[in-house]
């Protein structure tokens, strides 16, 4: 029995999703730094996707950790942001950092889609 006001342990799936979100957040931040060094107009579109994804993944992880009642909806939005970011990164297939970011985004999107369908 738990005490009133205490939280139950996070499920294995939720913890995996939080981890995927935080990992994706870090990779997006690193990729933004790399992208800024490249400069140029094409990178601006990628930068927007990276910024959206970085912020969304951080917020999604935060909401799951505090057991927000809006976590499922946030996970759905996060999956969409990650999909968009992965697609933007794929526009530069010869760049290792972009490919690393696309992969992190895909993993996070998959995990967030599963969580958005789960009862939290």
Interval 86-107: pLDDT, tens:
999 999 999 999 999 999 999 9
The answer to whether 68 and 59 have CB atoms below 8 angstroms apart is no
Q: Is the overall model pTM greater than 0.75, yes or no?
A: yes
Kindly list the structural domains of the chain, giving each domain's residue range(s) and its CATH number in brackets, ordered by start: 12-118 (1.20.1270.360)
Q: Collect contacts of 45-49 with beta carbons under 8 A, ≥24 apart.
A: 45/88, 46/88, 46/89, 46/91, 46/92, 46/98, 49/81, 49/84, 49/85, 49/87, 49/88, 49/89
pLDDT tens-digit profile of 16-72?
999 999 999 999 999 999 888 877 666 788 999 999 999 999 999 999 999 999 999
Let me know if 63 is exposed, middle or buried by CB neighbors in 10 A (0-12, 13-18, 19+).
buried
């Amino acid at each position: 029995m738990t005490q009133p006001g205490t939280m139950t342990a996070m499920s294995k799936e939720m913890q995996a999703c939080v981890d995927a979100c935080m990992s994706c957040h870090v990779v997006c931040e690193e990729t933004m730094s790399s992208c800024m060094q490249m400069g140029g107009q094409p990178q601006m579109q990628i930068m927007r996707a990276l910024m959206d994804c970085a912020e969304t993944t951080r917020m999604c992880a935060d909401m799951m950790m505090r057991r927000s009642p809006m976590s499922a909806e946030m996970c759905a939005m996060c999956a969409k942001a990650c999909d968009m970011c992965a697609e933007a990164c794929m526009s530069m297939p010869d760049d290792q950092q972009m490919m690393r970011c696309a992969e992190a985004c895909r993993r996070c999107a998959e995990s967030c889609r599963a969580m958005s369908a789960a009862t939290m």
